[in-house]
Amino acid sequence: MAPTIHILNGPNLNLLGQREPGIYGGQSLADIEGLAGERAKVRSFEMVFRQSNHEGQLVDWIHEAGDSAGIILNAGAYTHTSIALHDAIRAIAAPVIEVHLSNVFAREPFRHHSALSPVVHGVICGFGANSYCLAIDALADLSAP
């Protein structure tokens, strides 16, 4: 059986394709799931893809995925504020890649700070939906012998 990666998406990402397409692109979250699923298959991963607007649900999913091949986390606005997500990431063994569709450093100053970056393996931002594919490639490289 192929190793499993978990792709977890936070608040408002269910509105992709409708919400500020000039910033986040025109693809829906379902489109991104399809794109990520194709890349995961090429990289020999099984994939679990989820979205929640609730911080506690994301914490639970991080705990569930704690011994998987890795987690790709787009925590949305929780990136900038969530000590709970920070602590959940610190508590698990799986590598976590933080992703953002937009280049957060080219946006409002409050988006320049991440509560998660100090505890994740790496950060990918600014490549739109392809940020997820780049993160899948990174997890594959991390798990290669």
| pLDDT score, position 45 | 98
Assign residue 56 the CATH number of its domain. Answer: 3.40.50.9100
| pLDDT score, position 98 | 97
To the query of whether residue 100 is one of the catalytic residues in this protein, the response is yes
| CB-based contacts of 30, cutoff 8 Å, min separation 6 | none
| pLDDT score, position 63 | 98
Whether 32 contacts 132, CB under 8 Å: yes
Segment 21-55, tens digit of pLDDT: 666 667 899 999 999 999 999 999 999 999 999 99
Spell out, as residue ranges, where the chain has pLDDT lower than 50. none
Q: At what angle do helices 55-64 and 83-90 cross, to 10 degrees?
A: 0
To the query of whether residue 78 is one of the catalytic residues in this protein, the response is no
Q: Where are the beta strands (DSSP E) in 45-132?
A: 46-51, 70-74, 96-100, 122-125
Phi, psi of 73 (to 5 degrees): -125, 115
In this structure, the chain runs to a length of 145
Q: Hey, how many other C-beta atoms are within 10 angstroms of the C-beta on 131?
A: 24
Q: Which domain range does residue 136 map to?
A: 4-143
- Residue of 6, 78, 86, 100 with catalytic role: 100
| pLDDT score, position 20 | 64
- Residue of 24, 78, 86, 132 with catalytic role: 24
Tally of domains within the chain: 1
* Alpha carbon of residue 5 to chain centroid: 11
